C-alpha cells in the first residue's frame, strides 16, 4: 500500500478522511515542519473463524500417544526418584 505524508494541520482538518484511508490499508505519516513525528496505521484484525483447539492443520497424532507411560516415568513425575 501507499504511505501518505501529511502535516499536523492537515491531519486535524481531515482526520476522518485519513482514518478511512487507514482502514483501507494505507499508512499515514504525520509530520511537524516536514519532520515525521507519528505514524497512523491499522491494527491487526481479529480472526473471523475460530481455530480448533489442540490440533494443527494436517497434524496426525500417532497411536503411541495414547499408550501408557512407563512406570519409571510416572514415578519421576511424582518425585519418587528425586535425589535429596
Predicted local confidence at residue 59, as pLDDT: 77
**Residue pair 39/29 in contact by the 8 Å Cβ criterion:** yes
**Residue pair 26/40 in contact by the 8 Å Cβ criterion:** no
Using one digit for the tens of pLDDT, what is the confidence trace for 46-74? 877 776 676 677 778 889 889 999 998 88
CA distance linking residue 60 with residue 41, whole number of Å: 39
Beta-carbon contacts of 71 under 8 Å, excluding residues fewer than 6 positions away, are: none
Using one digit for the tens of pLDDT, what is the confidence trace for 6-49? 999 999 999 999 999 999 989 999 999 999 999 999 998 887 77
Set out the domains of the chain in order of their start, with CATH numbers.
3-40 (3.40.1620.10)
Residue 81 confidence class, pLDDT cut points 50, 70, 90: low
Predicted local confidence at residue 33, as pLDDT: 93
CA distance linking residue 70 with residue 67, whole number of Å: 9
Residue 44 to residues 5, 22, 69, Cα–Cα distance (Å): 21, 12, 42
pLDDT at 77 over 70: yes
Amino acid at each position: 500500500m501507499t504511505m501518505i505524508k501529511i502535516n499536523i494541520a492537515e491531519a486535524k482538518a481531515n482526520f476522518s478522511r485519513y482514518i478511512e484511508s487507514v482502514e483501507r490499508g494505507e499508512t499515514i505519516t504525520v509530520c511537524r515542519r516536514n519532520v515525521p513525528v507519528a505514524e497512523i496505521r491499522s491494527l491487526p484484525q481479529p480472526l473471523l473463524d475460530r481455530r480448533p483447539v489442540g490440533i494443527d492443520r494436517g497434524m496426525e497424532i500417532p497411536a503411541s500417544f495414547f499408550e501408557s507411560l512407563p512406570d519409571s516415568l510416572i514415578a519421576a513425575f511424582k518425585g519418587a526418584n528425586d535425589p535429596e
